[in-house]
Amino acid sequence: MTVNPPGTAAGAGARLVPSPDWAREVERESAQPVSLCYQCQKCSGGCPLAFAMDVLPHRLIRYVQLGQKERVWQSRTVWLCAACRTCAARCPNGIDIAAVADVLKQQAMRRGLVAPEPSVQAFHQTFLSSLRSRGRMHELTMLLRFKLKAGFKGSELSQDLRLGLAMLRHGKLRLLPEGVRRTREIQALFARAQEGKSHGAV
């Protein structure tokens, strides 16, 4: 009889072997009680982005419980979650799926997996690197870096430029970046988070 190794997706004729170790890892990193999910589906019922997701939020949590890493890391849901936290407000056990999705994103990136939503991944990486370098977002730099990473599309370029100029005129974008006073502390926080993850990295 074929038995799929822990952490791999079960194919036709394969048995599903739950892998609780990974679920514990996700619980620790996200500080969310994933094991308490009992599939009531209230999260999916209220999620405003459920229509675009390939794996509904309650199912994502179930896959985590079962250690189905590939299904989870390859799902668009992890990248589409908008962190609105409607699920957390509705969940009888207070599970914040946005926090779980965040951890899953980081895990996928640490393994060098290509996200099914590359532009969301590019935005996520640019946002974090902007925050790490100055302790505060500078939208203009971040947007330029994001566009360089995600790739300029000819038709969007003139539209982006028009929008950018209009925002500058209305004072919605700052030309020069500002930082916070103790950026080193922010950078130390990032380093500590990275170090903590690499100790229990999956």
Least separation in angstroms between residue 86's CB and ligand SF4 is 4
- Quote the radius of gyration of the chain (alpha carbons, Å): 19
The three-class DSSP label of residue 15 is strand
Least separation in angstroms between residue 41's CB and ligand SF4 is 5
Who's near 143: CB < 8 A, 6+ residues apart?
Answer: 160, 164
By 3-state DSSP, what share of the chain in percent is helix, strand and coil, each rounded to 5? Answer: 60, 0, 40
Which of 75, 130 has the CB closer to ligand SF4? Answer: 75
Least separation in angstroms between residue 117's CB and ligand SF4 is 13
- Residues lying near ligand SF4 in the complex (CB under 6 A) are found at 37-43, 47, 49, 57-58, 61, 81-87, 90-93, 95, 97-98
Least separation in angstroms between residue 74's CB and ligand SF4 is 17
Q: Which residues of 129-145 are buried (b: 16+ CB within 10 A; e: fewer)?
A: ebbebbbeebebbbbeb
